[in-house]
């Protein structure tokens, strides 16, 4: 259940282009299972495109925002802050995004959606994923920082 690290580096390249208007120092970590991006020192609050195992053993691609502090209460605070402006970010992200517990861990929180796993031979896939991840960052980052 992985793609080449290069695939997610291409996703990052696309993300950078689509999200270039966001201020702050951009960081990333790419590996065979995904890409994590965050701004400044907010590594626990980040945007991620990652392969996940779904029911029945199928693999999907989760795209969106994660809050991954060790204490669930800290993650609840982050999610509640973003949900307070849900009407605003829903206009940009749409109804596909689900807000709540992290997939596979009830300690962390997310606002994300799940796609079918990408075809690593499809050159458009990395661009589409990067663009969608940028949608989340453009909609949520100003609210997260407020």
Three-state SS string over the chain comes to CCCCHHHHHHHHHHHHHHCCCCCCCEEEEEECCEEEEEECCCCCEEEEEEEEECHHHCEEEEEEEEECCCCHHHHHHHHHHHHCCHHHHHHHHCCCCEEEEECCEEEEEEEEEEEECCCCCCHHHHHHHHHHHHHHHHHHHHHHHC
| pTM of structure | 0.95
Domains held by the chain: number: 1
Its domain, for residue 118, covers: 5-145
Residue 1 has pLDDT above 70, yes or no: no
Per cent of the chain over pLDDT 90 is: 86
Report the pLDDT value the prediction gives residue 40, as an integer from 0 to 100.
96
Mean pLDDT of 6-22: 95
**pLDDT tens digits for range 97-134:** 999 999 988 999 999 999 999 988 887 999 999 999 99
């Amino acid at each position: 259940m992985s793609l080449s690290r290069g695939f997610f580096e291409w996703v990052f390249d696309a993300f950078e282009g689509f999200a270039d208007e966001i201020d702050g120092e951009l960081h990333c970590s790419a590996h065979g299972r995904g890409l994590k991006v965050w701004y400044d020192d907010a590594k626990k609050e980040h945007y991620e495109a990652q392969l996940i195992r779904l029911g029945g053993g199928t693999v999907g691609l989760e795209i969106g925002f994660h809050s991954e502090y060790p204490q669930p209460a800290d993650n609840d605070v982050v999610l509640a802050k973003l949900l307070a402006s849900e009407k605003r970010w829903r206009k940009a992200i749409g109804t596909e995004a689900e807000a709540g517990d992290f997939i596979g861990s009830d300690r962390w929180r997310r606002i994300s959606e799940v796609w079918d796993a990408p075809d690593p031979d499809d050159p458009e896939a990395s661009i589409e994923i990067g663009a969608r991840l940028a949608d989340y960052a453009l909609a949520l980052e100003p609210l997260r920082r407020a």
